[in-house]
Structure 1
């Protein structure tokens, strides 16, 4: 009986691929870990930065810590940085004011050149003469500043309730005003204001749209009376610039108005609504 043939063991020539794959996987994991470690945590960096600033005597960005020892060196460094802090300090915004509260009558900014403008005084006097009957009734008010003039017209004599269409008597009033304003070349800002009673129609979803549309109606009428359109801008403030409290009927009547602000110069800041000289 013959011997069985002895089978030769086959050598796996690709065995190296297993440790190579493990090595590549480990390298990939290593680089992922290194990348994660190298990423900067912004929050931690800010904490570290604040700690370093405080440690070296700079102005802290948190509650002032209790200082122990000689304060002179650190105080000198802190005082040297106050100018930079004042530049970056945010300006408070009067967002907390309620629309129902009357707005503070802040004085307007004044120009340093040509502070006296006798032509504005003459313009205001001319308007008061032409609208004397309305001025006596309180429907029109003329306020003179050093470099601005404000003509306040009650909206009740210009428009019907909830409308931006000028009534026929209102057109006569605006025509009188335009004949005076057309003689001068001062910039004009026409402002629309309402009370706080809400409006919600297809054309006027809110008092903003109503106030802007009313101011625009006056602008178109002034242009038809000869006032150059490039001199005029329109602003709609809605109920957010009241002169009186909206809690009373009289206050709401006063707050519904169109104001024509005449500026002595384009570089002069317009007065705050309701500001007086």
Structure 2
């Protein structure tokens, strides 16, 4: 006699809802607990917010730039500003005004040489650049200052002597090789020419630690060396009077000299 087949049990397809509901409940409880134990320190949030806004605006945040002791307000003392704080807008404007006045004085003193094309005076955010042709300063292949150039450089020294701006003196040559006993290459010649100017400035009252002498040889040309005129333009000494002083002369950045034909 054949056995009756048991009715097959129907499998439930909704059992996953139980696990899902448990997971959602636990997740909700977790966020409720986290919210209950969290707290916002309004003071720290405001300091952080001010610092971020000031960083993007290149300003000093009012909440951290001024350090004031409790008894300073009662004594009427002025708050101390952190030494590392960047200059404020009035200080930047005063600095720019000073540099414009200095550049104008230099142009006025070197007017005849500027008209002859032997001196160029330009101003940028970096400072003032006074480019002087080597024909005004030196004999060919020499680093001793000519007598006429000494008077001109003394005039420049008088105009910048009473300021604290750092001065970077750069010597440049053309690409014609020099092989003398005194100057085996253009490196020595360009460095010696920059040093001659620095030494004269020091002898005329400029603090030596404000200055640095750099020789670039022929490797920072402003014109092509294929022509006589181009080589004459490349033989030069540039005085960079920097607007933004650094703590050490050794960290002065090199000048952004344009290269011929985009080189």
* Distance (whole Å) between structure 2 residues aligned to residue 147 and residue 120 of structure 1: 10
**3-state DSSP class of the match of 2:205?**
coil
Q: How well do the aligned residues superpose, as a CA RMSD in angstroms?
A: 1.7
- Structure 1, residues 66-110: CA drift from partner, whole Å, max 9, x if none? xxxxxxxxxxxxxxxxxxxxxxxxxxxxxxxxxxxxxxxxxxxxx
Whose relative contact order is higher, 1 or 2, with alpha carbons under 8 Å and at least 6 apart?
Answer: 1
Instruction: Name the CA distance, whole Å, in 1 between partners of 2:205 and 2:144.
Output: 20
Superposed displacement of residue 181, structure 1: 1.1
Indicate conservation of the 8 Å contact 1:148/1:270, yes or no.
Answer: no
Cα–Cα, structure 1 residues 242 and 115, in superposed 2: closer, same or farther, change >3 Å?
farther
TM-score, normalisation: structure 1: 0.57
Residue 144 of structure 1, aligned match among 123, 126, 130: 123
Which string of whole-angstrom CA distances, capped at 9 and with x for unpartnered residues, describes residues 234-254 of structure 1? 100000000000001110010
Three-state SS of the structure 2 residue aligned to 1:238 is: coil
Q: Does 1:129 align with 2:108?
A: yes
The structural deviation recorded for 1:222 is: 0.9
Decide which structure has the larger Cα Rg and report it. Answer: 1
Cα distance in 1 for partners of 2:242, 2:128 equals 7
Q: Among residues 179, 186, 196, which one is paired with 2:175 in the alignment?
A: 196
Q: Does 1:216 align with 2:195?
A: yes
Conserved? CA contact 1:120–1:147, under 8 Å:
no
For 1:253, the equivalent position in structure 2 comes to 232
Pairwise mapping of residues 26-105 of structure 1 onto structure 2 (< 5 A)? none
Displacement of 1:179 after TM fit? 0.6
Q: 1:274 to 1:134 in 2, by over 3 A?
A: farther
Contact 1:263 1:270 in 2 (8 A): no
Whether 2:166 is the aligned partner of 1:183: answer no
| 1:119 lines up with 2:98 in the alignment | yes
Match of 2:64 in 1: none
Equivalent of residue 138 in structure 2, options 146, 159, 170: 159
1:169 aligned onto 2:148: yes
Offset of residue 115 of structure 1: 5.1
- Does the alignment pair 1:237 with 2:221? no
Deviation at 1:274, TM superposition (A): 4.6
Give me the whole-angstrom Cα distance separating, in 1, the residues matched to 2:127 and 2:254.
7
Specify every segment of 5 or more residues in structure 2 that has no aligned partner in the other structure, as ranges.
1-85, 247-251
Alignment partner of 1:152: what SS?
strand
Structure 2 Cα separation of the partners of residues 255 and 130 of structure 1? 23
Structure 1 residue aligned with 2:257: 273
Secondary structure of the corresponding residue to residue 216 of structure 2: strand
TM-score calculated relative to the size of structure 2: 0.59
Flag the 1:129–1:168 CA change in 2: closer, same or farther, 3 A: same
Q: Residue 14 of structure 2 aligns with which residue?
A: none
Deviations, residues 171-226 of structure 1 (Å, cap 9, x unaligned): 01111110101021100100000000100011100000000000000001111121
**Counterpart Cα distance in 1 of 2:129 and 2:245:** 15
Show the counterpart of 2:241. 262
Query: Is the contact made by 1:148 and 1:263 (CA closer than 8 Å) also made in structure 2?
Result: yes
CA distance in 2, matches of 1:231, 1:153: 20
- 2:184 counterpart residue number: 205
